[in-house]
Amino acid sequence: MTRSVYVTGIDRGDGRQVVELGVMELLTRQVDRVGVFRPLVHDGPDRLFELLRARYRLSQDAASVYGMDYHEASALQAEQGTDELVSRLVDRFHAVAGEYEVVLVLGTDFADTQLPDELALNARLANEFGASVIPVVGGRKQTVESVRAETRNAHRAYESLGCDIIAMITNRVAPADRDEIRDLLAADLPVPSHVLPDEAALSAPTVAQIAHALGGRVLLGDDSGLARDALDFVFGGAMLPTFLKALTPGCLVVTPGDRADLVVGSLAAHSAGTPPIAGVLLTLDEQPGREILTLADRLAPGTPVIAVSGGSFPTAGELFALEGKLNAATPRKAETALGLFERHVDTADLLKRVSAPSSDRLTPMMFEHKLLERARSDRRRVVLPEGGEERVLRAADVLLRRGVCDLTLLGPVEQIRKKAADLGVDLADSELIDPQTSELRDRFAAKYAELRAHKGVTVELAHDVVADVNYFGTLMVEEGLADGMVSGSVHSTAATIRPAFEIIKTKPGGTSRGGAPGGASIVSSVFFMCLSDKVLVYGDCAVNPDPNAEQLADIAVQAAATAEQFGVDPRIAMLSYSTGTSGSGADVDKVRRATELVRAGRGDLKVEGPIQYDAAVEPSVAATKLPGSDVAGQASVLIFPDLNTGNNTYKAVQRSAGAIAVGPVLQGLRKPVNDLSRGALVQDIVNTVAITAIQAQAQARTQLPATG
The pLDDT tens digits for 356-406 are 555 556 667 778 878 888 898 899 999 999 999 999 999 999 999 888 999
Residue range 60-68: mean pLDDT, rounded? 89
Distance separating alpha carbons of residues 380 and 42, to the nearest angstrom: 44
Distance separating alpha carbons of residues 146 and 151, to the nearest angstrom: 9
Residue range 474-478: mean pLDDT, rounded? 95
Q: 387: closest CA among 466, 484, 487?
A: 487
* pLDDT at 511 (0 to 100): 52
Rg (CA), the chain: 29
CA distances from 301 to 177, 279, 293 (A): 40, 11, 11
* pLDDT at 421 (0 to 100): 82
Q: What is the DSSP string of 237-258?
A: -S-HHHHHHH--TTEEEEEETT
Q: Which residues touch 19 (CB under 8 Å, ≥6 apart)? A: 7, 134, 136, 169, 171, 196, 341
Distance separating alpha carbons of residues 437 and 143, to the nearest angstrom: 49
Q: 383: closest CA among 445, 470, 490?
A: 470
Q: Which residues touch 262 (CB under 8 Å, ≥6 apart)? A: 236, 240, 243, 253, 255
Distance separating alpha carbons of residues 606 and 310, to the nearest angstrom: 72
Residue range 45-69: mean pLDDT, rounded? 87
Q: What is the dihedral of CA 415, 418, 421, 427, to 10 degrees?
A: 40
Q: 384: closest CA among 403, 410, 404, 402?
A: 410
Inform me whether the pLDDT recorded for 1 exceeds 50. no
Query: Which pairing describes strands 431-433 and 102-106: parallel, antiparallel, or unpaired?
Result: unpaired
* pLDDT at 12 (0 to 100): 78
The pLDDT tens digits for 340-353 are 999 999 988 898 88
The pLDDT tens digits for 561-611 are 999 888 888 999 999 988 877 667 788 999 999 999 999 989 899 999 899
Q: Topology of domain 361-503, per CATH?
A: Rossmann fold (3.40.50)
Domain ranges (residues) in the chain: 3-199, 205-321, 361-503, 511-668
The pLDDT tens digits for 516-572 are 445 567 889 999 998 877 889 998 988 889 999 999 999 999 999 999 888 888 999
Cβ–Cβ < 8 Å for 369, 28? yes
Q: In the CATH scheme, what is the code of domain 511-668? A: 3.40.50.10750
Q: Residue 467: pLDDT band by 50, 70, 90 thresholds? A: very high
What is the model's pTM?
A: 0.78
Q: In the CATH scheme, what is the code of domain 205-321? A: 3.40.1390.20
Distance separating alpha carbons of residues 476 and 435, to the nearest angstrom: 11
- 654-662 long-range Cβ contacts below 8 angstroms, 24+ apart: 654/529, 657/531, 658/532, 659/529, 659/530, 659/531, 660/364, 660/529, 660/530, 661/527, 661/528, 661/529, 661/530, 662/367, 662/527, 662/528, 662/530, 662/687, 662/688, 662/691
Distance separating alpha carbons of residues 553 and 359, to the nearest angstrom: 32
Sign (positive or negative) of CA dihedral 467, 469, 475, 480: positive
Distance separating alpha carbons of residues 249 and 420, to the nearest angstrom: 13
Distance separating alpha carbons of residues 661 and 536, to the nearest angstrom: 10
Would 205-321 and 511-668 be classified into the same CATH topology?
A: no
Q: Which residues touch 640 (CB under 8 Å, ≥6 apart)? A: 538, 539, 540, 541, 575, 646, 649
* pLDDT at 517 (0 to 100): 47
The total of other beta-carbon atoms located within 10 Å of residue 683's CB is 15
Distance separating alpha carbons of residues 370 and 566, to the nearest angstrom: 8
What is residue 233's three-state secondary structure? Answer: strand
Q: Which spans in 603-679 are helix H?
A: 613-617, 619-625, 643-656
The pLDDT tens digits for 117-153 are 889 999 999 988 888 999 999 998 899 999 999 999 9
Cβ–Cβ < 8 Å for 34, 56? yes
Q: Residue 513: pLDDT band by 50, 70, 90 thresholds? A: very low
Cβ–Cβ < 8 Å for 403, 339? yes
Q: State percent of the chain over pLDDT 70.
A: 95
Q: Which residues pair with 408 in a beta bridge?
A: 383, 431
Pick the more confident residue, 131 or 273: 131
Sign (positive or negative) of CA dihedral 46, 47, 50, 52: negative
* pLDDT at 512 (0 to 100): 46
* pLDDT at 361 (0 to 100): 60
Cβ–Cβ < 8 Å for 279, 306? yes
Q: State percent of the chain over pLDDT 90.
A: 46
Query: Which pairing describes strands 164-165 and 193-197: parallel, antiparallel, or unpaired?
Result: unpaired
Q: What is the dihedral of CA 445, 447, 448, 449, to 10 degrees?
A: 80
The total of other beta-carbon atoms located within 10 Å of residue 11's CB is 15
Q: Topology of domain 3-199, per CATH?
A: Rossmann fold (3.40.50)
Q: Which residues touch 641 (CB under 8 Å, ≥6 apart)? A: 547, 552, 574, 575, 576, 587, 590, 591
